[in-house]
Structures are given as structure tokens and as C-alpha cells.
Structure 1
């Protein structure tokens, strides 16, 4: 009986619109060229990606390490002319919700390596090529620990100066980077790109449109956890297969362009928009801006002027009162997803990061 009620409620919530479509995912005004992971030896899916390691250029190094008993898959990028007798500053790059290291996080890791940094980006635990069951578990504690874990690893990487480590978080990784850097003082500078406050969106809905359904959604998530605990089926959110017409009818630009980016132009088999419904118990009590005043290091927050997610960056920036060295950089004309791949917007973001990290690291 309970299972039938749960299934009926779940179908009703999904059918009613976007009550559970609160992933940072999918028609882009400027159509992106499709990047095929099969054509890249490192399965990278961004324009200008490394295809081979050559002397004197940025090189990529697939690595793995253990974090809380799980094997984490990561890529380290080393700068042109990298040699271990020298000491380099490093930057940790945290990927978006549903993303993997081969997509936008890899693009920015490569671009920052071109500027002379050792960079690392890893698949979140329970996601991508990293270990963890159930798959696509998406809990803030794990995502924050992923960031600490990347810092652990890169701090001891050959040639890295552990006193000069920066942090870049993209989309959901941006919100988790704000949380991680509140207490992890190894990060000497923090930047976010198109920051997405996962807890606020899972709790209140995108643009705070689902506040009236919080308690009912929590009841459904509680039932999902109970079913898992009893050895039943693991239930997921965000795994619907939508037609082009259904995508075009989604109410937010972020979701429409996200389906395009993750599902078509920059698709990767390890990337998934779904997450376990039971994760909502943790997500909905989290907020990236809680205790944000603990950040006492230089802070750069970047977002597009046309991004419907801009309100989250603006809110976090205003609450970051613990540092006087902070800057909000708005990219004119850019939407959230366009900062992931459109060359002029990527260049604008990288140029701002160039001066920021040069000054702070």
C-alpha cells in the first residue's frame, strides 16, 4: 500500500512540471558543435581538448586515489614546461551537478594550466568514474569532502607548492566550494563560475517556485530512504527521457540549455542528471551560504548577465561578509550554460581568473 501511494505521488509530482527537475542541467541560442568523447583518447568533450601529451605543452595525467574507502578518478593537468624541481601554485576545480571531469571542469582546468598552474578535477564520489554505491548519490557532505580530497592529493603532487592552492567551483561545484572553503584554510583564494546553490534549489525549487511543496517532497524522500533501508529499489529523480518538444517547454533557460549541453553537444557516458531521491533528506537541509562569513580569503564570483541562476551568485556574494577582498564579475550577455562552452564567454571568465589567481596565489 505504501509503495503504491509513493509511486502515485512520485508520478504526480513529475507530471506536474518541474517539481523534481531541479538539476543544473539542456536549445542553446548559438548551437554548439558536438564534441564526441569517442574521438578523444582521454574522452574529453570540450573544444580544444588535449589529444596527446607533448613536450612544452599542457599535459593531462589520469590519476586515482582513495577517499573514505572509495577510489576517486581524477585528472591532473600540468602547465607548459612543467618540471618538478620548480614549485607551482595549484587550483582545485569542482564540477557541476550531474557533470564529470571531462566536460566544463576539464576545460577550465586545462585553460588554467595554460596559465602556469597545476590543476586537478575529479569525478565526485558515487558519480562518474569514481566508486560509490548507490550510484548518483548526491549528498552535500560527500561533495564537500570531494573538494577536500582533491586538495589532499594535489598538495602532495610533484612540483606543487602546498602553500599556494586555489579553488574554482562551477555550478553546483561552486556552491560546494563556498562551503568547503569556509573551513579549509589551505585554499588561499576561491572563485566560482555560475554558482548553483544546490540546497536552496532542492528545497525551494528553482527561483524559489516550489516552497509550498517542501513538506510533501520531504515525505516522499523519507519514504524513498525507508525503501532503500529495507532492501528495496533505489529511486531516482531527474532520469526522465524528454523529447525535444518537452525540453523546449521547460520553464527555465538553464534547464533547456542544460539538456542540450549534457544530452547532446557535450554528452559523456559517465555524466548523469539523475540523483537518488533519498539524497533530498541531506540536500534540503543544506545551504551553500550558511556560515559563508567564515570565508576570509579573496573571493571572485563570476556569472552571466542573462543567467536565470544569477540570483544565487548575487545572494551568496552579499552574504560573504568575512572578506573585504571580493569581486562580483558579470559577463555581459552570457547565460548559465553558455559560460561552459561559448568561446567569448569562456575567454572572459578565464581572463578574470588570470588576474585574480595571479594576484592571490
Structure 2
């Protein structure tokens, strides 16, 4: 099954057409799926260190990036980077982690528990409590890493990882500042539908999730949501840019065999009663939220930004012309995001 999935992704990458260039994980020894990725550790340059650690009995797979001329005897500002829903550390989270390491930060990005190369069964459980604990766990691990200045620890979350980062930072004051890129409120979308388009089916979907959990508990097959293998024609007819461009990014241009859209149907019992904005008044650290001006997910960033009333320093930056997925890889948009992050962390770490 795993081999079949890998071959499918490889064929998709090989057959890609159009304006998006492929970042082929097969050509990178660390299976990094973004342009300009580290391909070998060279003394005096940014290096990548694959690591594993334990979190509540599960093995977590992570990558630590160290800056050029890294000296473990010195102290460096450090960033925890949380990946998008369905993503893995080798995609956009790795890109941002590497770019920030190039600017002098130690960075860490880890696969969520039950996802990617991290442990946990059944596979692809996607519960908010787990994703939030993943972020606390990255902070636990990196705080013990040589050269890390725990007094200058920051947090960056991308897409779904952005929403979970906001919640993690509400209570975890080790994070001295928090930033998001294309923040996605996972609970709101799983409950209401994207752009609140499924309000009329909430109870039906809760019944489906309840039945899925009951089936799991009885030893039956694990049911999954979001596991669609769509044709190009079907993708083109999807109603939102995020979904159309998301398929292009995750299944073609930046595909990785550990990345998948699917999650256990029973996860919806937790997701649908969760909302990123429920206690945002607890967030008192400096906050930067970045989103594309043309992103159809922008409403989620704007909503969270308005409800983050506990911080005295917050900024919303819109990348002109960018959609949600384009902030993941389009060089000019990533450059703008990195510039804003550099200024923000430079001031608040």
C-alpha cells in the first residue's frame, strides 16, 4: 500500500504540467520537497539534523535546522514551526524553517503525532489536543538542544499549524512571540464547512463521526474523511482556490509520500467542538498574522486577529495578490513573508 502510494506520487510529479515547478522529494537525501532545500550538510552553512524523541509514548520525527557557523557553545534565538493540516515537515514548514535558519535561528519542525513519519495508531488521527500537544512537545525537545536560548523562543504556525499555534501560545508562555502564515481554523472549517458553506449538514456529519467512532471501538474498519483521489477535471471544478491549489501543491508540485489529506472520521468528534478563537484573549505575547490578500481563507485570519484582545502588540500583514497556497512556495510571496517574520522576531525575540 505504501509503495503504491509512493509510486502514485512519483508519477504525479513526473507528469506535472503548467506553471508550478516540481520540488521532487526523490532528488533530496532528506526527502525535502521544496526548492532550494538543503541536500547535504556542509560545514559553515545551514545544516539539517533529523531527530526523534518521545512524546507521551509516541516517537516523534522532526528536523532541526542550525544556522551557518553554528557553535553549540553559543546561544541562538530559536523557532518552533508547526506544519499545515495534511502536510509534513519536508514541505512548506521545512522551507520556512530553513529560510529562518539562514537568518541565524535554530529551528525545529516535526511531523504531528499519528501523522507523517511520527508514531501513533490508527494513522492520521487529527485531533486538536494532539496537534497542540505536538507544539508543546517541540518546545520541550528544542529547549534542551545545544545552543538554544530559551529566553528567545518563538513560534510560527502555518495553515492549520497556525491555528494550533495560537492556542498553544495561549497557555505556553515559553513562547515569547507567535506568528502565523495563512492561518486555518480547523475546528470552524470541519464544523461549518469551508467559508461556512455546510452549516445545514452539521448534525448529519456528527452522526457520521459518531458511527465511525462506534465502529472503531467495536474493532471494525477505520473510516476516513478527506481521502479523495480526484481527476484534474474534478479538481478544476472545486469551488475554492485553497482546494484547487492544495491538490496541485500536495499531490503534484510538492508531493511527499508521508503527506495526505485524509484523517479519521472519528476525529470530527473533537474537531467539530473546537474553535481556535474560543480563548484568544489569553494570548498576551506579540502577534504577527500573515495572509494573502486574495486568499479565500483570509476570513479566518481576520476573525482570529480581531479576537486576539489580550496582546498589546499585534500586526496583520497582507501579501498583495497571494492566495493561501501561494504563500507556501511562490518565491516573491515567501520572500515577503520572511521579511515580515525577520522584522517581527528581530524585535520580539
Q: What are the superposed Cα offsets for residues 303-331 of structure 1, whole Å, 9 maximum, x if unpaired?
A: 00000000000000000000120000000
Q: Tell me the C-alpha RMSD between the 2 structures.
A: 1.1
Q: Which runs of 4+ in 1 moved over 6 A?
A: none
Answer yes or no: is 1:180 the counterpart of 2:168: yes
Across the two proteins, how many residue pairs are aligned to each other? Answer: 334
Q: For 1:159-198, what aligned pairs fall within 5 Å after superposition?
A: 159-198=147-186
Match 2:272 to one of 284, 306, 326:
284
Measure how far apart 1:285 and its partner are.
Answer: 0.4
Q: 1:81 matched to which residue of 2?
A: 69
Residue among 110, 118, 128 paired with 1:140? 128
Residue correspondence of structure 1 range 38-187 to structure 2 within 5 A: 38-187=26-175
| 1:138-162 deviations in Å (ceiling 9; x for gaps) | 0000000000000000001001011
Query: What's the counterpart of residue 310 of structure 1?
Result: 298
Partner of 1:233: 221
Question: Pairwise mapping of residues 249-268 of structure 1 onto structure 2 (< 5 A)?
Answer: 249-268=237-256
Aligned mate of 1:348, from 333, 336, 341: 336
* C-alpha displacement of 1:31: 2.1
Aligned-partner SS, 1:77: strand
- Determine the C-alpha separation between the residues in 1 that align with 2:348 and 2:223: 44
Q: How far apart are 1:56 and its partner, in Å?
A: 1.2
* Deviations 1:167-197 (CA, angstroms, capped at 9, x unpaired): 0000000000011000000000000000000
- Give TM-score, length-normalised by structure 1: 0.92
**1:274 to 1:205, Cα distance in 2 relative to 1, 3 A:** same
SS of alignment partner, residue 176 of structure 2? strand
Gaps of 5+ in 2: 1-15
Structure 1 gap segments, 5+ residues each: 1-27
Q: 2:347 aligns with which of 346, 355, 359?
A: 359
How many Å separate the matches in 2 of 1:29 and 1:151?
A: 40
Measured after TM superposition, the shift of residue 35 of structure 1 is 1.1
